[in-house]
Amino acid sequence: MDEIQRTLLKEVADLDALPVGAYNIRANGAAAGRNSTANIEIVPKEDKPGIEIYIKPGTKKESVHIPVIITQTGLTDLVYNDFYIGEDCDVTIIAGCGIHNCGGELSQHDGIHTFYIGKNSKLRYVEKHYGSGDEVSKRVMNPTTIVHLDEGANMEMETTQIAGIDDTDRRTEGDLKAGAMLVVKEKILTTGVQKAKTYFNVDLNGEGCSANIISRSVAKENSWQHFDSRINGNAPCAGHSECDSIIMDHGCVTASPQLTANDIDASLIHEAAIGKIAGEQLMKLMTLGLTEKEAEEQIVNGFLK
C-alpha cells in the first residue's frame, strides 16, 4: 500500500495499521486484505463482486472494518456487501470509501450494502466518504444501504461526506419489525459545483418501532443538494425526520420530506430548516476576536461535528 492509499485509509476508517478483529480492505476494485474471526466470517461473493459477512448470534463488543479505497483514475467499482447479523449481538461496522483521483478521468464507487439484523441485536454502522485529488478528475460515490430490522433490533447509522465528492446519490431504505429502532445521522458538505442527493425510505411495520432520521448539511459556493425522505407509519409507531441545512454563497438545497400514516396510532413528525448562517452567530464569535471567515468556519465545523 502506498502513501496515498494509507492516507485514504486513515481518512475513511481512522486506521494507521491493519485493524484488530475482522476486516476486508478493498483497493482499486480488488481485495487487498481480509480477516475473519471466531465470531465474524467474511466470505467473497461468488456470483458478483462483494462480500458476505456473517456475525454469529450473541457476538458482543466486536467490530468489522470494511474500507474501500480507489486511487486509479477511470475506475468504476461496484460492490454488493451483505451483512447477516445474528440475534442478540452488539457490534460496530466501520465502512467508508476514499477516492484519490488526479488522472483526469472519472473514478466511481457504488456500494450496495444490505443488512439483516437479528432479533434484539444492536448495530452501530459508521460510513465516511472522502475524496481528494485535482479539480478536473471527477469522484463519484453512490451508496445504497438497505436495512431489515427484526423484532427489537436497533441500528444507529452515522454517515459523513465532507467535500471532495463531485457527485453522490445516496439511498437508504429500511423496514422495521415490532420494537425495532433505526437512527440515522447524516452529515454532508458540498463545495464548488458538487451535487449530493440523499433519499430515505423507511417502513415502520411493527408495533412500537421507531425511526429518527437527522440530516445536517452545508452547501457552499455553487453546490446543490437534494434531501428526500419518506417515512411510512404502518403500525403504532414513532417516526421523526429532521433536515437542517446551511446555505452559503450560491448554494442550493431542496428538502422534500414526506410522511405517510397508515395507522391511527402512527406518530410522525418532520422538521426542516434551510438558511444562511445567522448574522448574530457571526457577530457573537466576532466579539470573541474571530474574523468573519474564522467565525463561519467554527459555525460550520460545529454544525457538522
Partner 1 sequence: MLELKNVGFVADGEVEILKDVSLTINERFVAITGPNGGGKSTLAKLIAGIYEPTSGQILLDGVDITHMSITDRAKLGVSYAFQQPVRFKGLQVRDLIRLAAGRKITITEACNYLSEVGLCARDYIDREVNASLSGGELKRIEIAMVLARGTKLSVFDEPEAGIDLWSFQNLIHVFEKMYEETRGSILIISHQERILNIADKIVVIRDGEVTKYGTRDEILPELLESADAGNVACDVLTQKIK
Q: Using the rule CB under 8 A, is 287 a contact of partner 1?
A: yes
Tell me the closest approach of the beta carbon of residue 10 to partner 1, in angstroms: 23
How many CA atoms are closer than 13 Å to the CA of 266, on its beta-carbon side?
20
Tell me the closest approach of the beta carbon of residue 257 to partner 1, in angstroms: 18
Site of grid cell 486506521: 15
Closest by Cα among 120, 139, 54, 129 to 94: 129
Tell me the closest approach of the beta carbon of residue 190 to partner 1, in angstroms: 17
Question: Smaller CB distance to partner 1: residue 43 or 278?
Answer: 278
User: What is the C-alpha separation between 167 and 284, in angstroms, rounded?
Assistant: 35
Per-residue contact string for residues 92-131; x = within reach of partner 1 by CB under 8 A: ----------------------------------------
Buried b (16+ CB within 10 A) or exposed e, 12-36: bbebeeebebbbbbbbeeeeeeebb
Q: Using the rule CB under 8 A, is 1 a contact of partner 1?
A: no
- Is the Cβ–Cβ distance between 249 and 221 less than 8 Å? yes
Q: Using the rule CB under 8 A, is 298 a contact of partner 1?
A: yes
Number of residues binding to partner 1, judged by CB under 8 A? 22
Question: Smaller CB distance to partner 1: residue 201 or 298?
Answer: 298
Cell of 299: 459555525
Per-residue contact string for residues 221-250; x = within reach of partner 1 by CB under 8 A: -----------------------x------
The residues, ordered by sequence, that sit 6+ positions from 300 with a Cβ below 8 Å of its Cβ are 189, 218, 246, 248, 277
Binding segment toward partner 1, per CB under 8 A, in 74-82, 139-147, 203-211, 288-296: 288-296
Catalog residues that contact partner 1 under the rule CB under 8 A: 216, 244, 278, 280-281, 283-292, 298-299, 301-305
